[in-house]
Amino acid sequence: DQQVKQNSPSLSVQEGRISILNCDYTNSMFDYFLWYKKYPAEGPTFLISISSIKDKNEDGRFTVFLNKSAKHLSLHIVPSQPGDSAVYFCAASPTFNNDMRFGAGTRLTVKP
Amino acid sequence: NAGVTQTPKFRVLKTGQSMTLLCAQDMNHEYMYWYRQDPGMGLRLIHYSVGEGTTAKGEVPDGYNVSRLKKQNFLLGLESAAPSQTSVYFCASSKSHRGNTEAFFGQGTRLTVV
């Protein structure tokens, strides 16, 4: 069973607009949530994370929001740039081990 | 700075053949992982290691074996390849096993079993 779900396989936005990528999880033991970005023919790279004791974490153009009661998190990219076009993976992990569970990914396309 | 390097990048195997995927990291990380990525499934953990000489099973370990004889290397073996093992394999390493620690990934190995 997939404990982390990204229900949108793809998302297309115009350059300069906001991109919102969503992620849902089922396991209440998850305490950390991470977003990874993946370009073709490369491995995933870490983008941003959030702890379950917070509801928001911001890093430049990237903000992650966590709604623990709804078991939902989202990644906002503002403004979106063509270089942001990639597959974004949501991952979740318990506190005391790095047994990350990944979502299936969302392919973001930012059109110039 | 190479980071995490996987060898080979591509491989085609016949059913029943064996092979070993090599992962090397130069960041002195204690923890290393092998994942597989399949369409619609995300990345799933096969095996991991919390230090030299130690390994443990992940979410989908069947059909794979691993070894960590040196801290910088983590090997993934397929003893008798099956078409269901056609996938993209990623190795990763991290400095801590805590859940908030980012993992560094290799570029992946695309394996096709025919």
Interface check A7 vs B, CB under 8 A = no
Q: What are the tens digits of pLDDT across the range A49-106? A: 999 999 999 999 999 999 999 999 999 999 999 999 999 999 998 877 767 899 999 9
Residue of B nearest to A44 (CA): B105
How many A/B residue pairs have CB atoms within 8 Å? 77
Written as six digits, the tokens of B16 are 């029943």
**pLDDT the model gives residue B40:** 83
Alpha-carbon separation of residue B50 from A29, A89, A93 (angstroms) = 21, 24, 16
CA distance A35 to A23: 10
Q: Which residues of A touch B103 (CB under 8 A)?
A: 46, 98, 100
Alpha-carbon separation of residue B105 from A41, A54, A96, A104, B54 (angstroms) = 12, 26, 20, 17, 20
Instruction: Give the pLDDT band of residue A13 (cuts 50, 70, 90).
Output: very high
Secondary structure (3-state) at B103: coil
Q: Which residues contact A101 (CB under 8 A, 6 or more apart)?
A: A2, A3, A4, A25, A27, A30, A91, A92, A93, B42, B59
Q: Which residues contact A69 (CB under 8 A, 6 or more apart)?
A: none
Residue type, B86: T
Q: Which residue among A4, A34, A89 sits closest to B102, beta carbon to beta carbon?
A: A34
Question: Would you mind telling me the total number of residues written for chain B in this entry?
Answer: 114
Residue of A nearest to B94 (CA): A98
